Chains A and B, each alone.
Chain A
Amino acid sequence: MTAQQKATLQKLGPFIALLVVSGALAIMSPDFLTVGNLMNVMRQVSINALIAFGMTLVILLGGIDLSVGSILALSSVCIALMIQSGLDPVLATLLGIAAGAGMGFANGWIISKGKVAPFIATLASMTILRGLSLVFSGGSPITGLDSDFFQMLGGGYVAGLVPVPVVWMLLMFAGFWFLLKQTVFGRHVYATGGNEEASRLSGVKVDRIKIWVYTVSGAMSAMAGVVLTSRLNSAQPTAGTGYELDAIAAVVLGGTSLTGGRGWIFGTLMGALLIGVLNNGLNLLGVSSFYQQVIKGAVILLAVLLDRAGKK
């Protein structure tokens, strides 16, 4: 096997892992490999995948965004309050996503201009934004969002088969693929993550790239918030707690390096699907939710260890 073939195999690792796990589940449970169930899995995955796409950019920069769950909650609360107060649902949704982008922008600005470590900056904003969503909502769920349009965003189907959130996920996947592969912006993200100093000296506007990346991450979190709020038909101020860890897990499972500069969006999609398939399969098999956590953690560890061994 040549080095190049090995590298390709390495890259396809997450895809192969997904096939293996899916194959095993298909054998163990007759319910797994049905169109209905697979669509269900994809719909469950979509929220994590949307967040993880944004997180991929952040991690490619060598950063981290812990605030995604809080951004999700706060934008969700904002949208619900706007719809409740009678604002047009389409406009409310767009404003909510813009609000998420704004929160991400603030993260990026603090990290690049204030030179604060991403872990610290987003840890702080995670806490602040969670607090704000509790303040704005009064600490209780906001319900009664009487809008067909809004319910369609998370709960509808295209052609009576494909859930709308899955369409969002696939569209965003295609968009991120294009962004990273084909655009100057994408190249600059890889370059900045690979060697910030060399990139700056090569004329890459590193600060601007960082601010944009965190802004995108914020917008994607808000988009996930739209899907979740629509599905539940209510906004929960505590929604999205711990989502940052699922998103980071998906990115890392997909083979993106936590030190930045290396990774791809396809891997993240595979990582998110792998986590979703495991959740679904273990449920179908009737494994207790306590053991599910143990198994999920073990799978993540195993995947990363295999990845490591493959690189040697």
Chain B
Amino acid sequence: MKVSMRGICKAFGPVRVLENVDFTLHGGEIHALMGENGAGKSTLMKILSGVYQPDSGSVEVDGKAVAIRSTRDAEAAGIAIIHQELNLIPQLSVMENLFLGREPSRFGVIQRAAMRQQARAQLDALGASQIDVEAEAGSLSIGQQQMVEIAKALAMDARVLIMDEPTAALSAREIDTLFALMRGLQARGVAIVYVSHRMEEIFHICDKISVLRDGCFVGERVIADTGFDGVVKLMVGREIGDRFPGRDVVPGAVRLAVRGLSDGRHIDGISFEARAGEVLGIAGLMGAGRSEILKTLFGVNRRTAGEVWLDGAPLDVRSPAAAIAAGLAFVTEDRKSQGLVLGMSVRENATLVHLDSYARLGVVNGAAEQAAVAQQISQLRIRTRDAELDVKSLSGGNQQKVVFAKWLAKPPKVLLLDEPTRGVDVGGKAEIYHIINQLAAAGVAIVMVSSELPEVMAMSNRILVLHEGRQTALFDSANLSQEDIMAAATGTAGHDTRTTQD
């Protein structure tokens, strides 16, 4: 089987998103589609799956032109897409989701027995026998929900599976399961388009890679014949230098000290210190309680036990407002739901936290506000035509820089980072690492949660590892291997021998 997209052009109003793009896909291959945010990957895949119509260009399946005018046409042609935001209806059961819109029925009455049996068979064929077909979809883990989506696509005879950032919300173990599943599909001749920013994964699982830059196709490579630097150069059109810029800061005095922190539900007995100029990484599997540590420190979740000191003074905050007043800042995990007010402008988002700094008696000084935002835009190199544009019109990396801007308007004492580079392209990541390093150099203590092990290892001075809400290790990041972290994260390590804390 072979799918070719030829000469695809697409514009939204005056903005040309895709310019004469070619993309070819063969059965039985896992083909990575890469490019910076805004390069046009999602648009190209939405055209292939019938969500958008191209302005010009053609799609051929096995040499025959096919018109894909809707997602239904795409399904008929055997093309299915698994979106990053999963599309299951959480209140319906797994099997009801699997058969949504094509329920086995007689005279309009659903045949539950047949449905249950077929659903079971489909999930078993994917090696997902642990998923209960009667369970509510919303009660499954993200990884399991993804399995259900894949089963749904395959039940419609999909021969091309497009996966958009499928591992973004998965734990390491779930990723392994997903990759095994992908290999199985590959062996059955299914073609998989894999859209991701995670280089390690792409080099691990993919056969080929196609790269888009600014809406143009810039090349296709066989993974075996190419390397990391080559791909990055294709993507950004220049060398980006070190992927993880080095930091030459000697940690100073202890700024944040945490002893026995618990929230009564997710985390128990967490203790660590973060010094001025230090990045303390927090690693662990999905659901291990990493974000909950930050949320508890920031007053979002209630602390039920333990003590926290900031610069030697006890800290007891019960709301984000109080945490901010004490000098904490918190770059949250989910930019869209927790980080930004998407309907507001870049300026309004950038000044949301410290708007009082530009106001007297509650009245905002517009000129002062604009000047401060303009300075931040240039300092953090936020790429936007105008500070008055809606923040949602920016690329992921630039949106994330707006989130940083909002917190850095006043330098914090402690910066809490939760997945600071999720969904950010490789160029944007390097810029965010630079920002982190500058803050460390300025004496901020940084606590960073990240699911990307290379990132945690390269950016942190020390790494705290969690397993099911408990701390299993606190490593010095020098001479540490990914295996050490994974062993501690999965609870298979005797933590007393592995902890290298002073």
* Interface of chain B, main secondary structure: mixed
Q: Which of A187, A195, A205, A261 contacts B337 (CB 8 A)?
A: A195
A201–B362 CB distance below 8 A: no
Q: Give the complex CA separation of A23 and B383 in angstroms.
A: 46
Q: Per a CB cutoff under 8 Å, which of B338, B343, B366 touches A201?
A: B338
Question: Is there an interface contact between B348 and A201, defined as CB atoms closer than 8 Å?
Answer: no
Cα(A198)–Cα(B364), bound, Å: 21
Interface string of B308-349 (1 = CB under 8 A from A): 000000000001110111000010100001111111100010
B115 on the interface (CB 8 Å rule)? no
* Chain B residues near A262 (CB-CB < 8 A): 343
Q: Which among B341, B363, B406 has the highest number of chain A CB atoms within 10 Å?
A: B341
Q: How far is the CB of A59 from chain B (nearest CB, A)?
A: 14
Q: Let me know if B353 and A202 touch, CB within 8 A.
A: yes
- A201 and B320 contacting across the interface, CB-CB below 8 Å: yes
A-side interface mostly = helix
- Least CB distance from B358 to A in Å reads 9
Q: Which residue of the partner chain, among A3, A188, A197, A261, contacts B338 with CB atoms under 8 Å?
A: A197
Q: Verify if B355 is at the interface (C-beta below 8 Å from A).
A: yes
Contact B332 A195 (CB under 8 A): no
User: Is A201 a contact partner of B332 (Cβ separation < 8 A)?
Assistant: yes
Q: Is B65 an interface residue (CB 8 A)?
A: no
B340 A195 Cβ-Cβ under 8 A: yes
Q: B336: shortest Cβ distance to chain A, in Å? A: 9
A200 within 8 A of B: yes
Check A51 for interface membership: any CB of B closer than 8 A. Answer: no
Q: Does B340 contact A198, Cβ atoms closer than 8 Å?
A: yes
Contact check, A184 vs B321: say whether CB atoms are below 8 A apart: no
Distance in angstroms from A283 CB to nearest chain B CB is: 39
Size of interface on B: residues with Cβ below 8 Å to A: 30
Q: Residues of B contacting A205 with CB < 8 Å?
A: 319, 321
A278 to chain B, nearest CB (A): 30
Contact of B364 with A191 in the complex, beta carbons under 8 Å: no
A265 to B100, CA, bound (A): 44
Decide yes or no: A261 and B343 within 8 Å by CB, A183-B363, A202-B406 being known contacts. yes
Which residue from A182, A184, A188, A200 sits with its C-beta under 8 Å from B320? A200
A202 cross-chain contacts in B, Cβ below 8 A? 320, 324, 352-353, 406
Return A268 CB to nearest CB of chain B, in Å.
Answer: 18
Q: Which residues of A contact B320 (CB under 8 A)?
A: 200-203
| A185-B362, A201-B332 known; A190 vs B355 contact (CB < 8 Å) | no
Select from chain B the residue with minimum beta-carbon distance to A185: B362
Chain B positions within 8 Å of A188 at CB level:
355
Cβ contact within 8 Å between B355 and A194? no
* Chain A interface bracket (under 10, 10 to 19, 20 to 34, 35 or more): 20 to 34
Chain A residue, CB-CB nearest to B348: A187
A204–B325 alpha-carbon span in the complex (Å): 12
A3 and B13 within 8 A (CB): yes
Q: Return the contact of B341 from the options A182, A184, A195 (Cβ within 8 A).
A: A195
Q: A199 at the A/B interface (Cβ < 8 Å)?
A: yes
CA distance A173 to B361 in the complex (A): 21
Contact A184:B355 (CB < 8 A) given known A200-B320, A203-B321, A205-B321: yes
B302 CB to closest chain A CB, in angstroms? 14
Q: With A194-B343, A199-B341, A203-B320 as known contacts, state yes or no: A182 contacts B363, CB within 8 Å.
A: yes
The distance from the CB of B410 to the nearest CB of chain A, in whole angstroms, is 11
Q: Which residues of B contact A194 (CB under 8 A)?
A: 341-344
B337 x A191 contact (CB < 8 A): no
Chain B residue numbers with a CB within 8 Å of A203 are 320-321, 323-325, 353
A201–B298 Cα distance when bound, in Å, is 9
**Which residues of B lie under 8 Å from residue A187 when comparing CB positions?**
348, 352, 355, 364
Contact assessment for A183 and B339 in the assembled complex, using a CB-CB cutoff below 8 Å: no
Q: A197 to nearest B CB, angstroms?
A: 5
Chain A residues with CB under 8 Å of B353's CB are 202-203
Q: Which of B330, B352, B362 touches A204 (beta carbons < 8 Å)?
A: B352
Asked whether any CB of chain A lies closer than 8 Å to the CB of B134, the reply is no
With a CB–CB cut-off of 8 A, which chain A residues contact B324? 202-203
A198-B337, A198-B340, A201-B332 are contacts. A182–B364 as well, Cβ < 8 Å? yes
Task: List 7 other contacts, CB 8 Å, given A185-B362, A198-B339.
Answer: A182-B366, A184-B359, A184-B363, A187-B355, A191-B352, A197-B338, A201-B320
Q: Which 4 A-B pairs have the closest CB atoms?
A: A194-B341, A203-B324, A195-B341, A203-B321
Task: Pick 27 A–B contacts, CB within 8 A, sort by A.
Answer: A182-B364, A183-B359, A183-B362, A183-B364, A184-B356, A187-B364, A190-B344, A191-B341, A191-B344, A194-B344, A195-B340, A195-B343, A197-B337, A197-B338, A198-B332, A198-B338, A198-B339, A199-B341, A201-B298, A201-B300, A201-B330, A201-B339, A202-B324, A203-B321, A203-B323, A205-B319, A261-B343
Interface residues of chain B, those whose CB is within 8 Å of chain A, are 13, 298, 300, 319-321, 323-325, 330, 332, 337-344, 348, 352-353, 355-356, 359, 362-364, 366, 406
